[in-house]
Amino acid sequence: MSRRMPGASSDELSAVRDDVAREADATLDEWRPWLRRPGFAASAANLAAYVSLRRHDLRALQPDLMTLGLSSLGRCEARVLENLDAVLATLARLAQTESEAHRFPDPEAFFAGSTILRAEAECAFGPTPSGRDVWIMVTLPP
């Protein structure tokens, strides 16, 4: 497998990011009438972006990103667009083509989705048990 230059990966990923943002906006417009909690808007937007991202086949792009030491985009559930922006900014820096269009996300914005996810999980399941960062949910038939 040959590794392509960061610019080629950047062009492909940039096109994916543009598609994801456009598709997510359209999906969110469809969902908006059903959003009842104003505080859920950011999570709904990220979910729409996640659904859109998963509609794209990233398998050809992922090895290129991984060999550069970058995210394979496999674990970006809580911050889809921010993760895409961070990878694009890194690719631009590697290719020495940095511009205003390729800026790293603000760290607070980057981790906002994780913070919201944690708060919602604690609301649903209560505080995490001592010594663990996960909850265990068991479902049983009636």
Locate the domains of the chain by residue range: 6-125
Tens-place pLDDT, residues 51-98: 999 999 988 888 888 888 887 788 888 899 999 999 998 888 888 876
User: 1 falls in which pLDDT band (50, 70, 90)?
Assistant: very low
DSSP, residue by residue, the chain: -PPPPHHHHHHHHHHHHHHHHHHHHHHHHHHGGG---GGGHHHHHHHHHHHHHHTS--TTTHHHHHHTT---STT-TT-HHHHHHHHHHHHHHHTT---TTS-PPPHHHHHHHHHHHHHHHHHHH-SPPTT-S---------
